[in-house]
Copies of this chain bind each other. A is one copy, B any other.
Amino acid sequence: MSEAGEFDFIAQHLAPLSQGYEGAFGLTDDAAILADVPGLVITTDTMIQGVHFRKLEPWDLVARKALRVNLSDLAAMGADPHAVLLSITWPQAVRPAQMQRFVDGLKTDLEAFGIPLIGGDTTRGGELLVVTVTALGQCEHPLLRSGGEAGQDLYVSGTIGDAVLGLEVDTLAGLTGVHKAIVEDRHLLPTPRLKLGRELCGLASAALDVSDGLVADAGHLARASGVKAGIELDSIPLSSAAETWVRIQRDPIATLVKLITSGDDYELLFSAGPEKREEILAAAKRAGTHIARIGSLIEGKGVEVRTTSGELVRIDQAGFTHF
């Protein structure tokens, strides 16, 4: 594509996504000017073809996931999305239809979440699609990882383990087509828990989003809060698909451990004092998001997972890690 082509592409396809944000200048300047609003938070994440998503993943879904994993970080802070920047490197051999598909996905989600695209950069080269989203959010009283205390409850939203099943959907012999479609959708298009995050501000003592796996992320919250996370294995919420999958395995406990040590759930994990139980439930109801109490914070450090009978579950690898 020629330089004129690049300008036309930005002007035609990306500039409208700035939705009139004043400091975005229709994506024509060197930097964007942020509106003077208090309590801005910022996060950034990169996704590389073949590393963070499969080589053949449709690009509309890539765009939407790149956006959503950043929105999930904002949700974990209890922040409202304010604006995003997009830094994209198209593969040298990119086809216009692929670019169009990427933009279609981006547009769908930016509009659905009501977020302007205010800047970024676009280049071309190499063999892989590389996408970095930088997301800005706004909140008055951000939720941190560090506020948890021993004696408090530990909760998680939605269901855990679907994303890793979705990633391996081709190997799930025994699941119905509907169940397969559900877990694959959960892998491809996580739901950032923005409403829940907002509702939890001033209510939860600590929060983060589950991206490295429930056990690993419970460890992060525990570490930041200077406590230990105690998780009851049987309290962890599973989808009907995941529950079915676990039940038909030879070693259900090992399968369950895999689900809670794999990543990309993008659910909120949070703590709150036991006196807040009713308020927490009401907040989840207002957000329209299911939550489950899965254990508590206790004195100590690290994470322990126990079965209903109180047996300690041995976990070798504390959660999937990209590193």
Contact = CB atoms under 8 A, between A and B. Distances in A.
Contact of A73 (B30, B38, B77, B79): B30
SS of A interface (majority): mixed
B51 A40 contact: no
Contacts of A29: 77, 144-146, 208, 224
A39 B23 CA distance: 10
Contacts of A224: 28-29
A29 B224 CA distance: 9
A33 B41 contact: yes
A123 B44 CA distance: 12
A132 interface: yes
Contact of A31 (B2, B76, B88, B130): B76
A126 to B, nearest CB: 4
A65 to B, nearest CB: 14
Interface residues of A, number: 68
A63 B52 CA distance: 22
A102 to B, nearest CB: 15
A32 interface: yes
Interface string A34-53: 10101111111110101110
Nearest to A145: B29
Contacts of A119: 42-44
Contacts of A243: none
Interface stretch (A161-169, A174-182, A286-294, A314-322): A314-322
Q: Which 10 A-B pairs have the closest CB atoms?
A: A51-B125, A123-B322, A6-B323, A31-B43, A3-B321, A132-B132, A30-B76, A51-B126, A34-B40, A30-B73
Interface of A: 1-3, 5-6, 23, 25, 28-34, 36, 38-46, 48, 50-52, 73-74, 76-77, 79, 85, 87-89, 118-126, 128, 130, 132, 134-137, 142, 144-146, 208-209, 212, 216, 220, 224, 318-319, 321-323
Given A44-B132, A51-B89, A124-B322, 13 more contacts: A2-B321, A2-B323, A6-B321, A23-B41, A28-B146, A30-B43, A30-B74, A43-B119, A44-B119, A44-B134, A46-B46, A48-B130, A52-B125
